[in-house]
Structure 1
Amino acid sequence: MGTFAGIFIVVIAFFIILSGIFTVKQQTAALVERFGKFLSIRNSGLHFKIPIVDRIAGKINLKIQQLDVNVETKTKDDVFVHLKVSVQYQVTRAKIYDAFYKLESPSAQITSYVFDVVRAEVPKMKLDDVFERKDDVANAVKSELNDAMLDYGYDIIRTLVTDIDPDNKVKDSMNRINASEREKVAAEFEGEAERIKIVAVARAEAESKRLQGQGIADQRREIARGLEESVEVLNKVGINSQEASALIVVTQHYDTLQSIGSQTNSNLILMPNSPEAGSNMLNDMIASFTAASQIGEEMKKQNDRKTIQQKPD
């Protein structure tokens, strides 16, 4: 019985001594109290404390931590937006005591300051300005938090406005406006392209007409030169100019009929096109030329008589 009690006492003593040994992880600080009063700060490594007398009151993380705060507020142009503000903070080694004993909930404290600053700054801006000046909002939050949290042993490393989310109806309106602007720009480009195409077609058509007119003028010039040469040849064989002209017209008439007949799919009809048409045309032209010549001779004689009568005696 005595041996069993001795073993029991040794085991209890061993566990009591073992409870006085503890370790602290890297980038962590442990605060030790003795009978409820602060005793010391233990950094990373192996440490000892008096069992039952000393106790670890708590541990503080010395790494850089991040807290994301979602804030709903209203802009100057009465648009409700949700802002996500990310705050990166760290406990300073020189103020571990203050960080542990002065502040019950650092995350709640930081959240309150973020709400206060964002709801003071954003209502001064329009929605577009919030997007453009989000860094100003982040800097205002950082400045306010640094002044408030430094006394509690917390250093604000950086603040970021990571998301700006307007109301769904506002987003839909903004998307429609952007789509309309893009369609407007696209329509302007399409209109300009169509205008360039029309101008190019018009210039090409004008150049085509100019060349076509030049070709017709050259063609008529050559036809006139050929007719002139034909009349000269016929005059040399005793055919006067009127008869020569009539002969050429009749010849061209029959040449045209022959050309039309050689084209099987032609819908052109030459009027008149009867066998007597050539001779009738020739007779009509000769009669017309003869009558015109007689009228011209008569008018010349009348003019000569008037001239003689007007001369003084």
Structure 2
Amino acid sequence: MQWIGYIGIGILVLLVLLVLVTNIQIVQQSRAYVVERLGAYSATWGVGLHFKIPFFERVVKKVSLKEQVADFDPQPVITKDNVTMQIDTVIYFQITDPKLYTYGVEHPMNAIENLTATTLRNIIGEMELDQSLTSRDVINAKMRSILDEATDPWGIKVNRVELKNILPPREIQNAMEKQMKAERERRESILQAEGQKQSQILVAEGEKQSTILRADAEKQAAILKAEAERQAAILKAEGEAQAILNVQKALADSIKMLNEANPNDQVVKIKALESFEKAADGQATKIIVPSEIQSLAGLAASFKGLLEDEKK
């Protein structure tokens, strides 16, 4: 019978260990546990290892401290000019006080949704349709301020509110689409006209530059041509001057040689006759013959007559 007692003790020890293990709680990062003792709030456990007193304490809520997102269904709202729209909102919130979140309000998410719908109706009801469609930032800021203040006693902080969709009635949507289409067509026409204007400006600028370049090229060509003609004239003049110098030098040399040879009068007259012959070959219509050459011509005629007499 003794072994039966050992078995009972072993079972009891196992039960105690099982109870102890099941009452050990490990709280993870970004989470918090709200604990009650004998039905009353006892503590809020943060990150780490905790032991719950068996049968006396219990974890009533495990709360996430991360930022959370609540996407609510579209809510019907009426604008100041009596237009009914469907607006759905998205709320980004965070639990800052787990105790208030647990005991502050029953069903916190339902409470936030109803509060969001009421706040949205109040804000949109003070605006006309056009203003509500173009004032999303203003509506978001107002809703965030109102909701954050209202949910503070619940241990909730509203970080951001966004209007996800704004859906006006179908006929208004059609009118808005037509207006947007007309605006797009108007902008397209303006852009096309501006493009054509810029294209014409570019073409005119190109023609202007082409004309300037062509005129500049013609100017440069004329300058080069004039320079070439000037150089040719200079070279021609230099050539003629050089030829004259050569002739003068040859004449001077011949005179020098004659002077050195001490020619008689007959040689001088013959040389003069040769010069007269060359002058006669020119294009002049009148020739002035010096008297010495005339005498020499008479002498040549007499000499020619004597030759003819000898032949006879």
Fold shared per TM-score above 0.5: yes
- Residue 83 (structure 1) aligned to one of 71, 81, 87: 87
| Residue of structure 1 in register with 2:182 after alignment | 180
1:14-93 matches, within 5 Å, as 14-69=17-72, 70-92=74-96
- Residue 15 (structure 2) aligned to one of 12, 17, 27: 12
8 A contact 1:79–1:170 mirrored in 2 = no
- Report the alpha carbon displacement of residue 22 of structure 1 after superposing the two structures with TM: 0.9
1:299-310 matches, within 5 Å, as none
- Relative to structure 1, the CA distance from residue 134 to residue 5 in structure 2 (aligned partners, 3 Å threshold; closer, same or farther) is same
8 A contact 1:91–1:155 mirrored in 2 = yes
- Residue 135 (structure 1) aligned to one of 133, 137, 143: 137
Moved more, 28-37 or 71-80: 71-80
8 A contact 1:85–1:138 mirrored in 2 = no
Q: Distance in 1 between matches of 2:50 and 2:129?
A: 56
8 A contact 1:142–1:156 mirrored in 2 = yes
SS at match of 1:157: strand
- Report the alpha carbon displacement of residue 188 of structure 1 after superposing the two structures with TM: 7.6
Gaps of 5+ in 1: 195-313
SS at match of 1:50: coil
- Relative to structure 1, the CA distance from residue 135 to residue 12 in structure 2 (aligned partners, 3 Å threshold; closer, same or farther) is same
- Relative to structure 1, the CA distance from residue 140 to residue 193 in structure 2 (aligned partners, 3 Å threshold; closer, same or farther) is closer
Alignment-mate amino acid for residue 77 of structure 1: D
Percentage of identical aligned residues: 26
- Relative to structure 1, the CA distance from residue 185 to residue 18 in structure 2 (aligned partners, 3 Å threshold; closer, same or farther) is closer
Normalising by structure 1, we get a TM-score of: 0.56
SS at match of 2:125: helix
| Residue of structure 1 in register with 2:279 after alignment | none
- Report the alpha carbon displacement of residue 169 of structure 1 after superposing the two structures with TM: 3.1
Aligned Cα RMSD in Å?
2.8
- Residue 108 (structure 1) aligned to one of 103, 107, 110: 110
- Report the alpha carbon displacement of residue 61 of structure 1 after superposing the two structures with TM: 1.3
- Relative to structure 1, the CA distance from residue 7 to residue 189 in structure 2 (aligned partners, 3 Å threshold; closer, same or farther) is closer
Q: Distance in 2 between matches of 1:34 and 1:121?
A: 44
| Residue of structure 2 in register with 1:162 after alignment | 164
Alignment-mate amino acid for residue 53 of structure 1: F
> Residues 119-169 of structure 1, C-alpha deviation per residue, up to 9 Å, x if partnerless?
112122222211211111112211211221112211111212232222333
- Report the alpha carbon displacement of residue 73 of structure 1 after superposing the two structures with TM: 1.1
- Report the alpha carbon displacement of residue 62 of structure 1 after superposing the two structures with TM: 0.9
Q: Distance in 2 between matches of 1:63 and 1:28?
A: 8
Q: Distance in 2 between matches of 1:118 and 1:41?
A: 34
- Relative to structure 1, the CA distance from residue 190 to residue 134 in structure 2 (aligned partners, 3 Å threshold; closer, same or farther) is closer
Structure 1 stretches of 4+ moved >3 Å: 180-194
SS at match of 1:51: coil
8 A contact 1:73–1:119 mirrored in 2 = yes
Q: Distance in 2 between matches of 1:154 and 1:43?
A: 17
Q: Distance in 2 between matches of 1:133 and 1:90?
A: 26
Q: Distance in 2 between matches of 1:84 and 1:137?
A: 13
- Relative to structure 1, the CA distance from residue 6 to residue 190 in structure 2 (aligned partners, 3 Å threshold; closer, same or farther) is closer
- Report the alpha carbon displacement of residue 190 of structure 1 after superposing the two structures with TM: 7.8
Moved more, 48-57 or 178-187: 178-187
- Report the alpha carbon displacement of residue 43 of structure 1 after superposing the two structures with TM: 0.3
- Relative to structure 1, the CA distance from residue 111 to residue 179 in structure 2 (aligned partners, 3 Å threshold; closer, same or farther) is same
> Residues 82-130 of structure 1, C-alpha deviation per residue, up to 9 Å, x if partnerless?
22222111122xx332221111222111112211111112122222211
| Residue of structure 2 in register with 1:125 after alignment | 127
- Report the alpha carbon displacement of residue 42 of structure 1 after superposing the two structures with TM: 0.6
8 A contact 1:113–1:144 mirrored in 2 = no
SS at match of 1:124: coil
- Relative to structure 1, the CA distance from residue 186 to residue 87 in structure 2 (aligned partners, 3 Å threshold; closer, same or farther) is closer
Gaps of 5+ in 2: 197-312
